[in-house]
Structure 1
Amino acid sequence: MPVSPAYRPDPRFFDLGPDYSDAVKAADFPQTILRFRNDRAAAEVGLETLSDAEWIATFGRFDPLPGQPGPVAMRYHGHQFRHYNPDLGDGRGFLAAQMRETPRAQAASDRVASDSAQGRLLDLGTKGSGRTPWSRDGDGRLTLKGGVREVLAAAMLEAQGVPTSRALSLIETGEALERGDEPSPTRSAVLVRLSHSHVRFGTFQRAAYINRPDQIETLIEHVRSLYHPEVAPGDVPGLMQAITAASARLTARWIAAGFVHGVLNTDNLNVTGESFDYGPWRFLPAYQPGFTAAYFDHGGLYAFARQPEAVFWNLTQLASCLAVVSEPKLLADALNGFGPAYIRELRAAFLMRLGVHSLGEAADQRLVDTTLALLREGGEAMRWEPLFFDWFGGFASSARALSGPRAKLYQGEAFDAFRFALMEHEPDRIERLEHPMFAAREPEEMLIDKVETIWTAIAADDDWSPLNAKLARLEAARRAWGFDK
């Protein structure tokens, strides 16, 4: 396999053995049609040199990569809408490989990874790769529409500066699937994502459920040493604090992006605070605190404004597992740091999205408050994403915003308060406004009607050009915003 010299396999989760996962094989698909390959993400792990045929062999038939022991279905439990389910685990996916981020990828980013000396440990995880011991009554498959939606969600979130897995590969697999929530039969696919850990809160929950404190201790050291090495060995509250802080950062970035994950179960949050596994996600059209993404979230448990509450509740479940081997009071102290950390991260996320420097806690909070007030007062006409686009760079964008398509919205007391708070802040990297994207009248959005339009072109005419065009624009937006992960 002609991988790049920068490829560095490091299959560390596999070393934990059969208590934590089961060896599996991928399904034998009748077709393997390459629909999407993310060469920029592949270059981060030394896989961009694969030809299309080699790519399909690796990510459609799952021929093993050098130095990788073969795929495993990870074992975990979880609370689903706060009901405990001990019958979970990788039911239609597996961990295919682990490798280190390349030195070039590490140097190209200003993000500070906790394991930056070696490069971050990254996973190749699948979705739709076939049945496993944890499939229950499922077929282990992924609809092509579901794969397309995950590609789009990950690309949009990355462009907005949200810590997220990246969709690495999407291959259509030539099966007709029956589903109750979309017209059937529908086309099938297998997705591969590049992610910074698939160790979930639910991984710890399983060890606690089966009364194996030794497994909890093994997982603690595995996670500490690989993802939070700044925490001293044996410092379980310190690890809880690190995971809490990472989760607070992720949640704040979701809110600033106007993103609703949809299914914030404990098996959908991981120990690095990186968003992954996009099912019934949505982006807000306008400020709606009660906006839900999942049609089955009848009570609004995971609504937009309840996401911080949901993440905190999930962190309490993780803390209860760690309490088996650590002091509960110290864990509670670490857990209670979520609220203050979330508020700090929310201020930072709003400043990042508005492209301005911090002026201090009071002024930064005033900007967050007035931004939300303007969005609330503006109603449906004041769309979420365009506000951040129009006013990116603060005062430097006044002429652009006030002569643009939403100029009539920018008036009144709520707007005056917002503008005053914004103009207090100096632009951050003002040269970003020179990017051609800011000459456009409209920003890149990811509202559900546009997603459905992209899918309709594929479903009706096998026309992939709208998807490819959208991804190209999102890549341009990522460069224009200049957000790190």
Structure 2
Amino acid sequence: MIVGNSYADDLKGLYLPFQAARFPAPALVALDRGLAGELGMDPNDAGLAQMLSGQTPPEGATTLAMAYAGHQFGGFSPSLGDGRAMLLAEVQGQDGRWWDIHLKGSGRTPFSRGADGKAALGPMLREYVISRAMFAMGVPTTRALAVVATGEDVYREAGALPGAVLARVGGSHLRVGTFQFVAARGDIDSLRRLLAYAIRRHDADLAPDDALGLLKRVGARQSRLIAQWMGLGFVHGVMNTDNMTISGETIDYGPCAFMEAHDPATVFSSIDRQGRYAYGNQPGIARWNLARLAEALLPLIDADEDRAIEQASAVIDGFAEWFQRDLQNVLALKLGLAAPNPDLTEDLLNAMMEAKADHTLTFRALVQAAKGDTGAFLAQVPEGRDWLVRWQAENPDAAMIEAHNPARIPRNHLVEEALDAAQKGDMAPFDSLTKALDRPFCDIAGLDRYRLPAPSGFGAYRTFCGT
């Protein structure tokens, strides 16, 4: 395994040295063996639990807690940072790309603000299964490499819970909040270093001082990402600027979930009482976050502040058009159409909302509808006959529909079932769920229970950050 330290070497002042807490009995409870191999690790190495809990970092790695700021639910915090996380190592994958291995739940850091810096097993397994499913569905995402049980309890409102560390992998862990941290301090030299570093890491074809170019690239990546979220009915739940990556990867699967009944007002997070991060608000929040990145980059866009604002504003103003293009492209693929048809897609989404149709089942039913069997679709959207006639006139491609509409997503009741069992020591439901989600676009015999929405007795679903 080839290890590097570019963040530590190039971005002094944007981190603090940190070593993971000592844990009594680290033990692997989940491991993405394929990803481990991609990173040059031996999946059968008996020392992985020690390494991926931070007890024995890879040789030559500089372990650290990253500094960043962030707008959290609209309020600015100038100093957040890795409060329960750390950069374990940068490693070069078998494909030659560099990846961060980042640990979550690794102990109290200088940024912990009085918290214990640790994590419970349930939320770490939640991030593992949902991020793995997102990757399988083709969504840019940080990937869960492993969950390691620590052998000790953590204490939350629910009482004593088994502790765990998540090891996740990303193209980097640079965030909008990283730029905000430096900009808030007025440190132009550090801001230039950060800009050059981000460009080297993600946009090496740009000039190292091309702040406007980076802003455009980040905006384009985020537009495509949110369009994919919307297509899948995914609700991130906590789109703070410290959770918006420069790489365009989904990060921090805390209070996230997939909606079942299609409704733009869907909220799952227990702390999002005003619906700021509701499903339908996600595109607008992404644009708002991009504006915060633009503010941080203004001194590097142009020495003349008025010209900098004008250029940055043009990028921000263009985001809505980018997003509509990206969303219509996503929906065209989901409907099996050769080209976007905004009127057709808008009418379908409105009909789904009126019927309280299941988002995933409705789109998946179009596979059979394209072949002439409309029963499953009309079971979801009873008033959809006229729409079907218009859609079928476009000669939809059944194979395209099947390839872009998952048969199985991480259904909320199944995730909770698996996590409850895991916290009691039974990993079988979790392993079965993970396996069912690894090939989401295939119809596989015996997996019907993983397709169906929650039973009526499941009730309103709420998720929590796990801190």
TM-score scaled by length of structure 1: 0.84
Give the drift of 1:422. Answer: 5.7
Give the direction of change, closer, same or farther, for the CA distance of 1:303–1:143 in structure 2 (3 Å limit).
same
- The one-character-per-residue Cα deviations of 1:13-41 (angstroms, maximum 9, x if unpaired) are 22224311111101110111210000122
Give the direction of change, closer, same or farther, for the CA distance of 1:272–1:187 in structure 2 (3 Å limit).
same
For residues 321 and 127 of structure 1, the distance between their equivalents in structure 2, rounded to whole angstroms, comes to 27
User: Which residue in the other structure is 2:58 paired with?
Assistant: 65
CA contact (8 A) 1:11 1:98 kept: yes
Give the drift of 1:330. Answer: 1.2
Q: Secondary structure at the match of 2:190?
A: helix
Q: Secondary structure at the match of 2:438?
A: helix
> Given the alignment, which residue of 269, 288, 310 partners 1:329?
310
> Given the alignment, which residue of 324, 331, 345 partners 2:326?
345
Give the drift of 1:50. Answer: 3.8
Give the drift of 1:455. Answer: 1.8
User: Which residue in the other structure is 1:122 paired with?
Assistant: 99
User: Which residue in the other structure is 1:190 paired with?
Assistant: 165
CA contact (8 A) 2:407 2:441 kept: no
Letter in 2 for 1:258: G
Give the drift of 1:69. Answer: 2.5
> Given the alignment, which residue of 455, 468, 474 partners 2:419?
455
Give the drift of 1:411. Answer: 4.2
For residues 3 and 367 of structure 2, the distance between their equivalents in structure 1, rounded to whole angstroms, comes to 40
Give the drift of 1:297. Answer: 0.9
Letter in 1 for 2:391: A
Structure 1 gaps of 5+ residues are 1-6, 104-118
For residues 392 and 33 of structure 2, the distance between their equivalents in structure 1, rounded to whole angstroms, comes to 38
CA contact (8 A) 1:252 1:349 kept: yes
User: Which residue in the other structure is 1:391 paired with?
Assistant: 366
- The one-character-per-residue Cα deviations of 1:96-125 (angstroms, maximum 9, x if unpaired) are 11223323xxxxxxxxxxxxxxx4432111
Aligned residue pairs: how many? Answer: 437
CA contact (8 A) 2:366 2:398 kept: no
For residues 19 and 45 of structure 1, the distance between their equivalents in structure 2, rounded to whole angstroms, comes to 28
Letter in 2 for 1:464: M
Instruction: Give the alignment of 1:284-323 within 5 angstroms.
Output: 284-323=259-298
For residues 120 and 336 of structure 1, the distance between their equivalents in structure 2, rounded to whole angstroms, comes to 33
CA contact (8 A) 2:11 2:194 kept: no
Is the counterpart of residue 101 in structure 1 residue 93 in structure 2? yes
Letter in 1 for 2:98: L
Letter in 2 for 1:34: L
For residues 215 and 55 of structure 1, the distance between their equivalents in structure 2, rounded to whole angstroms, comes to 35
For residues 402 and 282 of structure 2, the distance between their equivalents in structure 1, rounded to whole angstroms, comes to 31
CA contact (8 A) 2:4 2:90 kept: yes
Give the direction of change, closer, same or farther, for the CA distance of 1:175–1:346 in structure 2 (3 Å limit).
same
Letter in 2 for 1:184: G
Q: Secondary structure at the match of 1:318?
A: helix
Give the direction of change, closer, same or farther, for the CA distance of 1:376–1:63 in structure 2 (3 Å limit).
same
Q: CA RMSD in A?
A: 2.3
Give the direction of change, closer, same or farther, for the CA distance of 1:9–1:214 in structure 2 (3 Å limit).
same
Q: Secondary structure at the match of 1:330?
A: helix
Give the drift of 1:164. Answer: 1.1
For residues 80 and 180 of structure 2, the distance between their equivalents in structure 1, rounded to whole angstroms, comes to 11
User: Which residue in the other structure is 2:10 paired with?
Assistant: 16
For residues 155 and 37 of structure 1, the distance between their equivalents in structure 2, rounded to whole angstroms, comes to 11
Letter in 2 for 1:358: A
Q: Secondary structure at the match of 2:439?
A: helix
User: Which residue in the other structure is 1:376 paired with?
Assistant: 353
Q: Secondary structure at the match of 2:144?
A: strand
CA contact (8 A) 1:250 1:274 kept: yes
User: Which residue in the other structure is 1:38 paired with?
Assistant: 32
Is the counterpart of residue 283 in structure 1 residue 255 in structure 2? no
- The one-character-per-residue Cα deviations of 1:320-362 (angstroms, maximum 9, x if unpaired) are 01002222211111222211111111112223444x2532x4x
For residues 69 and 200 of structure 1, the distance between their equivalents in structure 2, rounded to whole angstroms, comes to 22
Letter in 1 for 2:44: S
User: Which residue in the other structure is 1:91 paired with?
Assistant: 83
Letter in 1 for 2:61: P
For residues 366 and 431 of structure 1, the distance between their equivalents in structure 2, rounded to whole angstroms, comes to 18
- The one-character-per-residue Cα deviations of 1:388-421 (angstroms, maximum 9, x if unpaired) are 222248724x43xx354x6534543x44325523
Give the drift of 1:216. Answer: 1.1
For residues 333 and 65 of structure 2, the distance between their equivalents in structure 1, rounded to whole angstroms, comes to 37
Give the direction of change, closer, same or farther, for the CA distance of 1:17–1:238 in structure 2 (3 Å limit).
closer
Give the direction of change, closer, same or farther, for the CA distance of 1:216–1:55 in structure 2 (3 Å limit).
same
CA contact (8 A) 1:159 1:478 kept: no
CA contact (8 A) 1:394 1:427 kept: no
Q: Secondary structure at the match of 1:476?
A: coil
Structure 2 gaps of 5+ residues are 302-307, 445-467
CA contact (8 A) 2:145 2:167 kept: yes
For residues 131 and 425 of structure 1, the distance between their equivalents in structure 2, rounded to whole angstroms, comes to 57
- Percent identical across equivalent pairs? 29
Give the direction of change, closer, same or farther, for the CA distance of 1:184–1:421 in structure 2 (3 Å limit).
same
Letter in 2 for 1:57: Q
Residues 420-429 or 124-133, more deviating: 420-429
Letter in 2 for 1:131: R
TM-score scaled by length of structure 2: 0.88
Is the counterpart of residue 203 in structure 1 residue 178 in structure 2? yes
User: Which residue in the other structure is 2:133 paired with?
Assistant: 156
For residues 422 and 217 of structure 1, the distance between their equivalents in structure 2, rounded to whole angstroms, comes to 54
For residues 179 and 10 of structure 2, the distance between their equivalents in structure 1, rounded to whole angstroms, comes to 14
CA contact (8 A) 2:64 2:87 kept: yes
Q: Secondary structure at the match of 2:145?
A: strand
User: Which residue in the other structure is 2:23 paired with?
Assistant: 29
For residues 246 and 442 of structure 2, the distance between their equivalents in structure 1, rounded to whole angstroms, comes to 28
Give the drift of 1:153. Answer: 1.5
Runs of 4+ in 1 over 4 A off after TM superposition: 428-433, 478-481
Give the direction of change, closer, same or farther, for the CA distance of 1:422–1:309 in structure 2 (3 Å limit).
farther
Letter in 2 for 1:19: G
CA contact (8 A) 2:409 2:440 kept: no
